[in-house]
Structure 1
Amino acid sequence: MPWNNQGGGGGGGPWGSPPGGGGNNNPWGRPSGGGQPPGPDLDDLLRKGQERFKRMAPGGFGSGKGVALVVGVLAALWLASGIYRVQPDERGVVLRFGAYERTTEPGLRYHLPAPIERVQIAQVTTERRLDIGYRSQGDSRRPGASDVPDESLMLTGDENIIDIDFTVAWNVKDAPNFLFNIRDPEQTVRKAAESAMREVIGRTEIQPALTEARSEIEQSTRKLLQEMLDDYAAGIEVQRVQLQKVDPPAPVVDAFNDVQRARQERERLRNEAEAYRNGIIPTARGEAEKLIQEASAYREQVVSLAQGDAKRFLSVLEAYNQAPEVTARRMYLETMEEVLGKTNKIILDGKNGAAGALPYLPLNELLSRQSGQPAQPRQ
């Protein structure tokens, strides 16, 4: 379509001639003196591009080759749109016409272009944390945390109220279930964890919950929470449940501390009594055992002596039955030896005038004076 020069000059175009005259002006004010243009000549660029395209498609855009070229370029771009990358901590879930098709591992992957297939990416190895009973401020967990009483106050098995704050660490173990079976994963884990903790605390008395049962509560809650999420087919794996705070409610904490101190004092007195009992009872048992052993030894001694005397008498009786006179004389001699062997004896020789000794002469006293021993009383 030719442009008409409205200003009387030739070749000015619809924008007119630039100041200073001159014809053959384009819309960007190309000067006519053959000087250097201020910018790229877009007319030349468009013209050159059309010429190159015509050389590639001699018939122009309307020809078969031109249409095929355009279609080929568009098809190549469409097919290339199916290339995607899965990071090491991710899994790709491919959907074909909206239905689950497959799960892809990390790396450079391909799926059929939209609208045939599309891919959703899920992070599976990243550990996610939920604060239940409190909300942490920034990166800190307990310092500056705000309490949430609706989540933290729970009823124990002995009908006491306890204030519990805990965290749940979880990650994704099944990407398709995680993406399609639950609408709000974080809220689902929060509600399920709170329900599991309330059930475990409802079976636990307050005193163990505050002291030695913390580890058992964590393990039981994690197991119950995992079972609930598996029933939901949530594709979530619970790594751990960690108690942050287990205290009585704030309005009664002073009274509860008084009760705890009284229980500790009772336990101390009980331990002292147990120690005293453990010291007395073994001593008494030892003394009793000693007496029993001594009595047993005395019994064995008496029985043995009696049995020995009985055997000795039987042996003497048997010898007496075989030789009565010899046995009787032997018994007499042994008896006299036993009797006279324990007495002081003075033998008087009649040849030396002993026959005239007076019977009341204290011979035993004279004998004791000679030997230096005290005299024994006369019999």
Structure 2
Amino acid sequence: MAWNQPGNGGNNDRDPWKNQGGKDQGPPDLDEALRKLFAKFGFGGKKRGGSGGNSGIPAKGVGLIAIIALVVWFIAGFYTVKEADRGVVLRFGNFHTLVESGLHWRPVFIDTVEHVDVNNIRSDSTEGFMLTQDENVVVVQLDVQYRVVDPRNYLFNVVNADSVLSKATDSALRYVVGHTTMDEVLTRGREDVRASTLELLEETVNPYNMGLQIVDINLLPARPPEAVKDAFDDAISAQEDEERFIREAEAYAREVEPLARGQVRRLLQEAQAYKEQIILEAQGEVARFNELLPQYKQAPEVTRERIYLDTLQELYSKTPKVFVDVEGSNNMMYLPLDKILEKQGRNVSSFSPSRVPTEVSGSSNSSSSSSNSGRSSNRGGGRD
């Protein structure tokens, strides 16, 4: 039962606002409690010379509050710019100055600072189905790398410079792919597409002065739609085989061509040497004939005899020696002396005619006589 509930037997001793003596004090005065609290801090109190006047804030308290607020405001103005960032100071929303990395101070509620990363390289990519010049559809993906070089232009020249660069990249890539055939996009023309896209992108974004510098772009391998992917894979494989065969043929040509050129030079040198040899031999024959002609005019017979003997000596020195005797009998006998000497292990220079058998001697005499008679008849006929 509550302390003030009727029927409590008239027991009012449980009233919380009565002291132990039973005197009624009533509820506490909140105004008085607040005045006492402010008085402890020197912000209020009873006015001197007055009877129960209201309390006020003295000048000393106002000054203390102002000093504390000023100290807090001053401390709150310190800020730090990271090593990779630059600070863009805005005064009442307008550009004021740029600050480097480190500890700085700004007047709070007057200046604000925007931090812009200028050292790290940023990346953005674009991808989509694009129509080529020969009316084929390919899936192309390109990554662009860039960084901020002018924080002021980056923040204020355009709205959201990163988004503008992304849209410009997509537009430049679609323009270049639209003026390139599908085979070039997929195989041999990828580097040309990348270079053309980079050039067109720089021409597009430079007039805006966005404070961005394009570092590089990377064209990822393009691919056809999934419906025709297998057929295009076969075409790319055939293209690679063609290039490989061309490289192998060029390597073989580089290997064979020097050998052929060397053989040509060798044949030319041999032909030149043979030509000089023939010319020198002919000149020698002419010189010998010029020396022999005066001798022939002085003694024609002796000169013809000597020429004849020299000719036979040259011929017999190159042919095997065979002696034939047909006067004694009808049987013809021949004897290759060089073969007999080879069997006996003797040289031709050490051969002695006395050791030749009688048949051979007779044969050689008869053969020699017949040869001499024939030669004499020839000489006679020649002289006639």
> For the superposition of Structure 1 and Structure 2, which TM-score range results when normalised by the shorter chain?
0.5 to 0.7
For residues 259-298 of structure 1, what are the structure 2 equivalents within 5 Å?
259-261=235-237, 263=239, 295-298=271-274
- TM-score normalised per structure 1: 0.61
Q: Is the 8 A contact 1:169 1:238 kept in 2?
A: yes
State the distance in 2 between where 1:237 and 1:47 align: 64
The secondary structure found in structure 1 opposite 2:281 is helix
Superposed CA deviations along residues 115-153 of structure 1, whole A, max 9, x for unmatched, are 3x33222233344332321xxxxxxxxxxxxxxxxxx12
Name the counterpart of 2:281. Answer: 305
State the Cα distance separating 1:157 from its structure 2 match.
4.7
Name the counterpart of 1:110. Answer: 105
State the Cα distance separating 1:79 from its structure 2 match.
4.3
- In the superposition, relative to structure 1, how do residues 220 and 263 fare at CA in structure 2: closer, same or farther (>3 Å)? closer
One-letter amino acid of the structure 2 residue matched with residue 122 of structure 1: V
Superposed CA deviations along residues 153-211 of structure 1, whole A, max 9, x for unmatched, are 22335553321123333332221111111212332121011122224434544334323
- In the superposition, relative to structure 1, how do residues 192 and 295 fare at CA in structure 2: closer, same or farther (>3 Å)? same
For the pair 1:17 / 2:17, whether they are aligned, the reply is yes
- TM-score normalised per structure 2: 0.61
Q: Is the 8 A contact 2:142 2:217 kept in 1?
A: yes
For the pair 1:82 / 2:77, whether they are aligned, the reply is yes
One-letter amino acid of the structure 1 residue matched with residue 118 of structure 2: V
* Matched-pair identity in %: 31
- In the superposition, relative to structure 1, how do residues 258 and 130 fare at CA in structure 2: closer, same or farther (>3 Å)? same
State the distance in 2 between where 1:368 and 1:252 align: 90
Name the counterpart of 1:180. Answer: 156
Q: Is the 8 A contact 1:92 1:104 kept in 2?
A: yes
Structure 2: unaligned runs, 5 residues or longer = 1-15, 47-55, 317-325, 338-355, 375-384
State the distance in 2 between where 1:243 and 1:341 align: 90
For the pair 1:123 / 2:133, whether they are aligned, the reply is no
Superposed CA deviations along residues 69-125 of structure 1, whole A, max 9, x for unmatched, are 55444444444443222222322111234332211112221123433x332222333
State the Cα distance separating 1:320 from its structure 2 match.
4.9
The secondary structure found in structure 2 opposite 1:131 is strand
Q: Is the 8 A contact 1:91 1:124 kept in 2?
A: yes
Q: Is the 8 A contact 1:161 1:249 kept in 2?
A: yes
Name the counterpart of 2:349. Answer: none
1:165 equivalent among 134, 138, 141: 141
State the distance in 2 between where 1:247 and 1:310 align: 83
How many residues in Structure 1 have an aligned counterpart in Structure 2?
A: 311
State the Cα distance separating 1:52 from its structure 2 match.
9.3
1:153 equivalent among 119, 129, 144: 129
State the distance in 2 between where 1:245 and 1:212 align: 11
State the distance in 1 between where 2:239 and 2:167 align: 36
For the pair 1:249 / 2:221, whether they are aligned, the reply is no
- In the superposition, relative to structure 1, how do residues 120 and 24 fare at CA in structure 2: closer, same or farther (>3 Å)? farther
- In the superposition, relative to structure 1, how do residues 52 and 337 fare at CA in structure 2: closer, same or farther (>3 Å)? farther
State the distance in 1 between where 2:27 and 2:38 align: 14
Larger radius of gyration: 2
The secondary structure found in structure 1 opposite 2:42 is helix
- In the superposition, relative to structure 1, how do residues 330 and 198 fare at CA in structure 2: closer, same or farther (>3 Å)? farther
State the distance in 1 between where 2:220 and 2:239 align: 24
State the distance in 2 between where 1:256 and 1:112 align: 65
- In the superposition, relative to structure 1, how do residues 164 and 125 fare at CA in structure 2: closer, same or farther (>3 Å)? same
Q: Is the 8 A contact 1:169 1:239 kept in 2?
A: yes
One-letter amino acid of the structure 2 residue matched with residue 124 of structure 1: V
State the distance in 2 between where 1:53 and 1:172 align: 61
- In the superposition, relative to structure 1, how do residues 163 and 72 fare at CA in structure 2: closer, same or farther (>3 Å)? same
1:100 equivalent among 68, 91, 95: 95
Structure 1: unaligned runs, 5 residues or longer = 1-15, 30-40, 55-59, 134-151, 345-358
State the distance in 2 between where 1:53 and 1:333 align: 171
- In the superposition, relative to structure 1, how do residues 218 and 77 fare at CA in structure 2: closer, same or farther (>3 Å)? same
State the Cα distance separating 1:247 from its structure 2 match.
0.5
Name the counterpart of 1:48. Answer: 40
Name the counterpart of 1:10. Answer: none
The secondary structure found in structure 2 opposite 1:154 is strand
One-letter amino acid of the structure 2 residue matched with residue 156 of structure 1: T
The secondary structure found in structure 1 opposite 2:216 is strand
State the distance in 2 between where 1:312 and 1:113 align: 123
- In the superposition, relative to structure 1, how do residues 66 and 281 fare at CA in structure 2: closer, same or farther (>3 Å)? closer
State the distance in 1 between where 2:114 and 2:220 align: 35
For residues 338-353 of structure 1, what are the structure 2 equivalents within 5 Å?
338-339=310-311, 341=313
The secondary structure found in structure 2 opposite 1:231 is helix
Name the counterpart of 1:348. Answer: none
